[in-house]
Each structure stands twice: as structure tokens, then as C-alpha cells.
Amino acid sequence: MKKYKYLFLTIILIIFIFNIKLVILSTKDASILFFNKVFVSIFPFIILCDILIYFDYHIFLKNTIGKFISKLFNIDSSTSIIFILSILTSHPANSVYIKDMLDNNEINIETANKILCFTYFPSISFVIGTIGISLYNNFKIGLILYLFCFLNNILIGIYLRKNKVSVLKNKIIKKDKSIFDVIKTSILKGINTSFIILGNLIIFTIISNLLNKYININPIILSIISGILELTNGIVSTSFLDINLIIKLLITLFILCFSGLSIIFQSISILGDYKINIKKILTIKLVFSILTCILFITFYYFVNNILYFCYIF
């Protein structure tokens, strides 16, 4: 077994050496994407979330909107902060918020695995701004895609609501800190988490670009594979395909709902100290991504038939 492991590592080393220019360009592209799009949107919220949880803001939410979220997903209302902040900040920030509550012993690993499955929200600005307006020159396309991504998470949460989870009662007692110490700790935590995200993004961008270089297959299949590996590359390459617009949107929606292995492994890396059920996450996301696409195409034909019916009469 060790012989095969070293052989595999040697092959990877050779591939990297003979494609050093591609590796450097991929690292540069991933870094630019990270600092221009990801870091600027996620870093402030990582700090904010850490501060909010330290000062028990989730307890306040528990008694307000948390009650509705609790009934909908059959979770403790104090965990509603994870759902709300995940909508505002996008993935993989959901894993950061889950880790904070795990670190404070406020939730158990079963709760973490459950909530992680239905809090993979894409960035609103990315879906509506980049995809809708920039790639397809249509605000409505971006809005519809985001609403179906939102629906995807709701459906997963409802499906998993049968799995009742509990919040731990032996919460870790926090030492009193000044606001400056809390901010300092949050900044350091945010920097560490951000570089974990960057590292995963670079690795999957390199893999995706190597596949694009060496694998000569149908462009549609290649775009889907690229999207499964890394969300952004897959969505951009899909937009350039010479195919029907609805097929493009179906592929784009599937990639958005699945989130991409890069983002999923970013989450796993952030939660590396805990036993995350990655097989369950991948299975659920794959199944519900396909289901959401079926709902999307059903919605499309339903609306078209209604419009056609109104046109006739």
C-alpha cells in the first residue's frame, strides 16, 4: 500500500514540475479571486460573528426569530444565529459559526453535522451581481437562481428536521475579557480561518485547470466537473457554452446548490478538530442539488404554459 502511495505522490510531483507555469498562474488567479471577492466579504463577518457569540447575541435571537427557525428545522432556537449569518455572509462562513459554538460547548457534533448541511448559502452579490448581471446581463436570472438556492437549503433543513438534536447544557464559562481583547482574538481567528479557505481554493483551482488542460471531453461535462471541483470556475465556463440558456442555468443552479468540493473541503478543514460526516454532507447536497434542478425546470415549464395560456385568451 505504501508503494502505491509514494508512486501517486511522485506522479503528482512530476505533474506539478512539468506544469509549473500553470500552477503559478492558478495560484495567482485563486489568490486574486480570494482577496477581491471572498476575503473582503467574509473576513469582517468572521470577526463580527465571534464577537456576537462571545457576548451571547444568539441568546437574544433565540427569543425572537429563533423560535420560527427552531420550529421549521427542529433545532434549538439558540442556533438560529448560524442560519441567519450564513445567509448574510455565504459559505464557508457557516462552518466558522458552527466551530465557534462547538468550541464554546454550546452544541454537540450531531447538531453541527445537521446544521452544516443546510447552511451552504452562496453570496447574494455573487449570484445576482456576478452571475445574473455580469455573465447573463439579467438581474432576474440572478434573483431566481438565488431563490432556488435558498429553497434548496430550506428543503434540506426540512428533510433533516426528523433528526432531533440537543444543545449541550454544560456550556464553557467564558473568562471576562475587555472588548479590545475580544476583537484581537477574533481578528487572529479570522486570519487563520481565511488562510485555510485560501489554501483550499488554490488546490482546487490547480486541479480544475489541470483537468481543463489534459482532459479532452465534451465541454458541457467538463464545465460540470469543473463546477463540482470549484464553484466559480465551473459557473464562468458554463456561461461561455454554446447551448440553450435554460440548460446553462440548470448547470449553474446545480453547481450553486452543490457548492463545489473546494468550498465543502474548506468547511471540513475549518472544522478539522471535530468529526464531520463528510459522506452524509456530499450525499445530501448531491441529491438535493438534482432535486432543486428538477423543481427549477418544472417551474420554468409551468410559467411558460401559464404565459402561453394567457396569450391565447
Can you give the pLDDT at residue 126?
A: 82
**How far, in Å, CA of 204 to CA of 263, rounded?**
9
Q: Report whether 116 contacts 276 (CB < 8 A).
A: yes
**How far, in Å, CA of 302 to CA of 264, rounded?**
33
pLDDT higher than 90, residue 146? yes
DSSP per residue, 66-82: HHHHHHHHTS-GGGHHH
Q: How many CB atoms lie within 10 A of CB 173?
A: 8
User: Measured between alpha carbons, how far is residue 97 from residues 67, 91, 155 in Å?
Assistant: 19, 11, 21
Instruction: Return the SS3 of 276.
Output: coil
Instruction: Return the SS3 of 105.
Output: coil
Dump strand ranges (E) for the chain.
none
Which of 40-49, 127-136, 192-201, 303-312 is the most confident on average? 127-136
Among 85-94, 266-275, 285-294, where is mean pLDDT lowest?
85-94
pLDDT higher than 90, residue 2? no
Q: Report whether 103 contacts 139 (CB < 8 A).
A: no
- Which residues have CB under 8 Å from 186's CB, separation 6+? 46, 47, 50, 51, 54
Can you give the pLDDT at residue 5?
A: 79
DSSP symbol at 218: -
**How far, in Å, CA of 224 to CA of 212, rounded?**
12
Q: Report whether 229 contacts 207 (CB < 8 A).
A: yes
- Write out the three cell numbers for 59: 441568546
pLDDT higher than 80, residue 53? no
Can you give the pLDDT at residue 1?
A: 64
Q: How many CB atoms lie within 10 A of CB 244?
A: 9
pLDDT higher than 70, residue 309? no
pLDDT higher than 60, residue 313? no
Helices then strands, counting H and E runs in the chain, come out as 16, 0
pLDDT higher than 80, residue 304? no
Mean pLDDT of 222-226: 89
The 3 state secondary structure assigned to 232-248 is HHHHHHHHCCCCCHHHH
Can you give the pLDDT at residue 307?
A: 58
User: Measured between alpha carbons, how far is residue 277 from residues 112, 116, 154, 211 in Å?
Assistant: 10, 10, 20, 28
**How far, in Å, CA of 125 to CA of 119, rounded?**
17
**How far, in Å, CA of 116 to CA of 109, rounded?**
10
